[in-house]
């Protein structure tokens, strides 16, 4: 049995579905079901007795203690987080509450549980914390990519809150010996990503003939990894990573935002012809504190754990666009209600750049 937190979100649900499809151990899935959590992401395992869904907060100590006592997981994978940079600028409070305070409460209950385990369970136990490359800050175009020894320099409330949680993991390993693992991954894309993030937002707007809002000059660079590759990497780190270590995960795909949006427009022109998608591109007011470039040096996970991304950007992007085209009811469901208010708040004030 493993415990997954945040398993109704984008990456967590892809992880749970892939894990169970490959015949993995039963999963307890704890998720608060914030705006980003969606039980509809888990319909494929709704009748699978190996999947138990629990609605709850990682900061709820009593609930966490009860789940650990009753289910005695051999491992925990912590995806639960507030995850969108623009929302962290709009309102950082929830980011501090879940990403920092929530991770602290989770760590305290896990420490208590782990300290009372008998061998061999105690020796085999792992807590894997899923984090981001954004903790390393921003690179210049000629700078070397982020490695595991790059100094933390977070710039947004989101990345600062994730950096704080990573530091807590580090301290619980160093001080208490808790067998932690931390993975720092670059930008994910693929099925079931909430349409507030760049790629699904652009697909969503393009299909409706709405503007494609590119922040600033569109030359900010991100490394992109297909979500299923990221989930495979997490499984590899969980099974074979060394306790107390951190692993960077990337897709070897550095693209400017404009390159990504152009690629999406061209794919849509092929798969849903009839509109000049590129003409919808609108340069809008930049994100405050917008990090210029992220890039991952994946040497450690490649040499130590023999993990390499399998998907190329063009194959991954095609699968992603095809998934969104085939799953418009999913999109319509998650974009009703609160989503409209978020779009109004984030984009209305961004006049043309
Ligand atoms: P997401 O926003 O799609 O999903 C987060 C999930 O966590 C949601 O289901 C939400 O309901 C749940 N959640 C939020 N607060 C909670 C709480 N207090 N208790 C329990 N559940 C809670 O995020 P995602 O994109 O799937 O990201 C998952 C993890 O991966 C995050 O920790 C994020 O920082 C990290 N990450 C994401 C990316 C990316 O590109 N999306 C890249 C690197 C790392
Ligand atoms: P995002 O998907 O929010 O991920 P992150 O900020 O965590 O990297 O954004 C990816 C890039 O796309 C980032 O440089 C900001 C940019 N962006 C836009 O240009 N327009 C948008 O509407 C959004 C949501 C993002």
Residues noted as catalytic: 133-134, 158
Q: Which atom of ligand 1 is nearest to the CA of 59?
A: 18
Q: Taking the alpha carbons of 290, 292, 297, 298 in that order, is the dihedral positive or negative?
A: positive
8 A C-beta contact, residue 264 and residue 278: no
Position 353 scores a pLDDT of: 53
Ligand 1 centre distance from Cα of residue 85 (Å): 12
Q: Which atom of ligand 2 is nearest to the CA of 83?
A: 7
Position 337 scores a pLDDT of: 81
Distance CA 276, CA 201 (A): 17
Residue 14 dihedral angles phi and psi, to the nearest 5°:
-60, -35
Ligand 1 centre distance from Cα of residue 6 (Å): 6
The binding-site residues of ligand 1, defined as CB within 6 angstroms of any ligand atom, are: 5-6, 8-12, 30-34, 36-37, 57-59, 79-81, 83, 98, 102, 130-132, 162, 185, 187-188, 194
Mean pLDDT, rounded, for 176-199: 98
At 104-162, the pLDDT tens digits run 999 999 999 999 999 999 999 999 999 999 999 999 999 999 999 999 999 999 999 99
Ligand 1 centre distance from Cα of residue 11 (Å): 7
Ligand 1 centre distance from Cα of residue 274 (Å): 36
Tokens of 48: 């699978």
Q: Does residue 68 surpass a pLDDT of 70?
A: yes
Ligand 1 centre distance from Cα of residue 21 (Å): 21
Distance CA 167, CA 234 (A): 19
Q: Which atom of ligand 2 is nearest to the CA of 158?
A: 7
Position 278 scores a pLDDT of: 98
Position 219 scores a pLDDT of: 98
pLDDT-derived band at 349 (thresholds 50, 70, 90) equals confident
156 CB within 6 A, ligand 2 = no
Mean pLDDT, rounded, for 42-56: 97
CA 191 to chain centre: 12
Q: Which atom of ligand 1 is nearest to the CA of 14?
A: 26
Q: Does residue 19 surpass a pLDDT of 60?
A: yes
User: Which one of 190, 222, 346 would you pick to mutate in the ligand 2 pocket, going by the greatest count of ligand atoms within 8 A of its CB?
Assistant: 222
Which ligand has the minimum distance to the alpha carbon of residue 10?
1
- DSSP secondary structure letters along 77-112: EE--S---HHHHHH--HHHIIIIIIIHHHHHHHHHH
pLDDT-derived band at 59 (thresholds 50, 70, 90) equals very high
Per the document, the length of the chain is 353
Side by side, the strands of the sheet bearing 75-78 are 51-55, 27-31, 2-5, 75-78, 126-132, 180-185, 246-249
Mean pLDDT, rounded, for 28-38: 97
Mean pLDDT, rounded, for 190-215: 98
Distance CA 343, CA 10 (A): 19
Mean pLDDT, rounded, for 201-219: 98
Mean pLDDT of the chain: 97
Tokens of 331: 């999109």
Position 352 scores a pLDDT of: 58
346 CB within 6 A, ligand 2 = no
Dihedral Cα 186, 191, 192, 194, nearest 10 deg: 60
Q: Which atom of ligand 2 is nearest to the CA of 187?
A: 8
Position 270 scores a pLDDT of: 98
Q: Does residue 332 surpass a pLDDT of 80?
A: yes
Q: Does residue 336 surpass a pLDDT of 90?
A: no
Alpha helices (H) along 180-312: 198-207, 227-240, 257-271, 299-305
Burial class for 97, CB neighbours closer than 10 Å (0-12, 13-18, 19+): middle
Ligand 2 centre distance from Cα of residue 186 (Å): 12
Position 251 scores a pLDDT of: 98
Domains for the chain: give ranges and CATH numbers: 2-188+226-251+291-311 (3.40.50.720)
Atom 5 of ligand 1, nearest CA residue: 9
8 A C-beta contact, residue 133 and residue 223: yes
Distance CA 177, CA 86 (A): 36
8 A C-beta contact, residue 303 and residue 247: no
């Amino acid at each position: 049995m493993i415990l997954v937190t945040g398993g109704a979100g984008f990456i967590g649900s892809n992880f749970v579905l892939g894990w169970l499809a490959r015949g993995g151990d039963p999963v307890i899935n704890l998720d608060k079901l914030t705006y980003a959590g969606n039980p509809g992401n888990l319909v494929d395992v709704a009748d699978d007795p190996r999947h138990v869904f629990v609605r709850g907060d990682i900061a709820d100590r009593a609930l966490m203690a009860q789940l650990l006592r009753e289910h005695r997981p051999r491992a925990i994978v912590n995806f639960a987080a507030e995850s969108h940079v623009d929302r962290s600028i709009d309102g950082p409070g929830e980011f501090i509450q879940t990403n920092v305070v929530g991770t602290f409460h989770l760590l305290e209950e896990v420490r208590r549980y782990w300290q009372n385990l008998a061998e061999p369970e105690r020796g085999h136990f792992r807590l894997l914390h899923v984090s981001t490359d954004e903790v390393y800050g921003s690179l210049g175009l000629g700078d070397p990519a982020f490695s595991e020894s790059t100094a933390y320099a977070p710039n947004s409330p989101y990345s600062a809150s994730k950096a704080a949680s990573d530091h807590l993991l580090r301290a619980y390993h160093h001080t208490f010996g808790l067998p932690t693992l931390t993975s720092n991954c670059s930008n994910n894309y693929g099925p079931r990503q909430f349409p507030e993030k760049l790629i699904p937002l652009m697909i969503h707007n393009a299909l409706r003939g709405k503007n494609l809002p590119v922040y600033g000059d569109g030359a900010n660079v991100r490394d992109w990894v297909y979500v299923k590759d990221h989930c495979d990497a997490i499984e590899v780190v969980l099974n074979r990573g060394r306790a107390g270590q951190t692993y960077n995960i990337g897709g070897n795909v550095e693209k400017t935002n404009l390159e990504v949006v152009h690629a999406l427009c061209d794919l849509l022109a092929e798969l849903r012809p009839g509109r000049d998608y590129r003409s919808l591109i609108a340069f809008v007011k930049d994100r405050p504190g917008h990090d210029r470039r992220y890039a991952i040096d994946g040497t450690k996970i490649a040499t130590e754990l023999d993990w390499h991304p399998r998907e190329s950007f063009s194959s991954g992007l095609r699968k992603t666009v095809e998934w969104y085209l085939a799953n418009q009811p999913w999109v319509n469901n998650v974009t009703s209600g609160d989503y409209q208010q978020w779009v109004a708040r984030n984009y209305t004030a961004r006049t043309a750049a």
